[in-house]
């Protein structure tokens, strides 16, 4: 083992720029994409269509609030125009404010007031929907509060007679003076929330896992290099069998990757815990063994690189980390089963894939030991 360690250190000393790049690649690429999309979102507003079945004071107030958003550009259209522009992807999504909106708000009813329509290219639909829902809920809560105040005033025979509109106006004044809605609640060890929401919410560890898988696959090309070198022939004359050499070297790579994974926890602003450590190590071991077996199948590095990129692209698609595919996953549950980064996406320990890969490694070792016995 010591001789293999010294030999590997000798190889790594010659290749340290390449190794450093691929070890750092997962969290550098992850942070770069997150910061880049944040910068883009600061300068880009998403076009969203709104249809009013009835124009009232409350619908005008809702539109005014939406126009104040830095994230969307609301456009008032007829239903036919809005659907057409959505179909040709000039709008990200469409929201129809139904007739009787103001009446239902006054009654404190928040259900079936707005209908959202999206296309297969609507990346901001969920965020806009949540924004609209929060505004509608705010108005319904305000209305319920007004009726509660009027009821209490009547019940206790208050001297001041407040109308519904006066109470609503007063709530607006109190909200502006006290800054109630925009106040942030901070808990122990929490980070202050940003005031500006984001349409693209990256799954940080899912994104890191995709780049981590790619870097692992590409760094496993040492197996192909050494199979094609003169070193491979010498294993017939030395005490250490080829398969043990591969196993010991794989352990060294696992230790090296584990150190960079620990570094990634702090770089990606994740709170260190035993759980997150187990999540990362289980994924790393799974990715390393999978890459190990894949590299054993090839003798040509260029072909191997092509397959490595193809596998990474396939997993990035079925995982939904880069391109949301929630609707597809709901119909094809088996996609989650074949997705090796599904567990780390959900902040869970990789179990099924880890069991399969370790079992495969053990069977491979038993077979090789029997062969060289």
Indicate the number of domains in the chain. 2
**Cα separation, 119 vs 96, whole angstroms:** 15
CATH number for the domain spanning 69: value is 3.40.190
> Helix, strand, or coil here: 59?
helix
Q: What is the pLDDT of residue 121?
A: 78
260 shares a domain with 343: yes
Q: What is the pLDDT of residue 354?
A: 92
Residue 190 in domain? no
360 with 269, same domain: the answer is: yes
Per-residue confidence band for 297, with pLDDT thresholds at 50, 70 and 90: very high
Residues 52 and 28 in one domain: no
pLDDT band at 177 (very low <50, low <70, confident <90, very high): low
Residue 51 β-bridge partners: 96
Give the model's pLDDT for residue 293: 94
pLDDT digits (tens, 9 = 90+) for 216-247: 999 999 899 888 876 656 655 566 777 788 88
Question: Which pLDDT score, from 0 to 100, does residue 130 have?
Answer: 86
Instruction: Give the tokens for residue 309.
Output: 């990129």
Looking at 33-42, 86-95, 206-215, 287-296, which range is the least confident one? 33-42
Is residue 167 domain-resident? yes
Task: Give the bridge partners for 116, in sequence order.
Answer: 95
Give the whole-angstrom CA distance, residue 118 versus residue 126.
Answer: 9
The answer, yes or no, to whether residue 304 has pLDDT greater than 90, is: yes
Q: What is the DSSP string of 254-273?
A: HHHHHHHHHHHHHHTTPPP-
The count of other CB atoms within 10 Å of the CB of residue 1 is 10
Answer yes or no: do 59 and 8 share one domain.
no
Which residues form the domain of 275? 2-35+203-372
CA 295/CA 216 separation, integer angstroms: 11
Check the CA dihedral 12-18-20-25 and report its sign. negative
Output the CA–CA distances (angstroms, integers) from residue 265 to 20, 84, 87, 334, in the order listed.
17, 46, 42, 30
Residue 305 has pLDDT above 90, yes or no: yes
Q: d(Cα 199, Cα 126) in Å, to the nearest integer? A: 8
Same domain, 210 and 348: yes
Name the pTM for this structure.
0.65
pLDDT confidence tier of residue 158, bands split at 50, 70 and 90: low
Q: Would strands 72-76 and 114-118 be described as parallel, antiparallel, or unpaired?
A: unpaired
| CB neighbours of residue 256 within 10 Å | 15
- pLDDT, greater one: 43 or 207: 207
In a domain, 197, yes or no: no
Does residue 145 lie in a domain region?
Answer: yes
**pLDDT digit string, tens, across residues 28-69:** 999 898 888 777 766 677 899 999 998 888 888 888 888 888
Domain assignment of residue 209, yes or no: yes
**Which band of pLDDT confidence, cut at 50, 70 and 90, is reported for residue 186?**
very low
Average pLDDT for 144-148:
75
Q: What is the pLDDT of residues 246-289, one digit of tens each?
A: 888 899 999 999 999 898 888 887 788 888 889 999 999 999 99
Whether 103 and 135 map to the same domain: the answer is yes
């Amino acid at each position: 083992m010591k001789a293999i360690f010294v030999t590997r250190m000798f190889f790594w000393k010659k290749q340290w720029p390449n190794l450093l790049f691929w070890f750092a690649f997962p969290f550098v690429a992850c942070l770069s994409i997150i910061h880049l999309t944040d910068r883009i979102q600061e300068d880009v507003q998403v076009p969203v269509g709104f249809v009013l079945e009835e124009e009232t004071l409350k619908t005008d107030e809702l539109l005014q609030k939406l126009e104040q958003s830095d994230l969307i550009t609301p456009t008032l259209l007829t239903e036919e125009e809005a659907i057409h522009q959505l179909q040709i992807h000039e709008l990200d999504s469409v929201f129809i404010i139904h007739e009787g909106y103001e009446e239902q708000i006054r009654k404190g009813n928040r259900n079936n007031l707005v209908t959202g329509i999206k296309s297969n290219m609507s990346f901001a639909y969920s965020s806009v929907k949540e924004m609209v829902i929060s505004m509608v809920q705010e108005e319904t809560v305000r209305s319920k509060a007004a009726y509660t105040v009027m009821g209490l005033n009547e019940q206790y025979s208050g001297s001041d007679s407040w109308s519904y509109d006066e109470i609503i106006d007063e709530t607006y004044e109190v909200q502006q003076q006290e800054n109630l809605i925009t106040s942030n609640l901070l808990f122990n060890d929490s980070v202050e929330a940003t005031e500006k929401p984001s349409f693209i919410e990256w799954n940080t560890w899912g994104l890191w896992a995709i780049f981590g898988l790619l870097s692992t696959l590409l760094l496993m090309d040492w197996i192909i290099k050494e199979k094609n070198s003169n070193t491979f022939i010498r294993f017939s004359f030395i005490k250490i069998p080829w398969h043990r050499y591969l196993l010991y070297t794989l352990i060294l790579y696992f230790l090296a990757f584990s150190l960079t994974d620990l570094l990634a926890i702090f770089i990606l602003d994740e709170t260190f815990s035993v759980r997150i450590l187990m999540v990362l190590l289980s994924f790393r071991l799974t990715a390393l063994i999978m890459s190990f077996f894949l590299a054993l199948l090839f003798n040509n590095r260029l072909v191997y690189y092509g397959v490595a990129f193809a596998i990474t692209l396939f997993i990035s698609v079925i995982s939904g980390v880069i391109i949301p595919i929630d609707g597809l996953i709901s119909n094809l549950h088996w996609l989650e089963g074949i997705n090796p980064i599904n567990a780390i996406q959900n902040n869970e320990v990789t179990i099924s894939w880890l069991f399969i890969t370790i079992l495969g490694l053990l069977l491979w070792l038993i077979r090789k030991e029997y062969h060289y016995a």
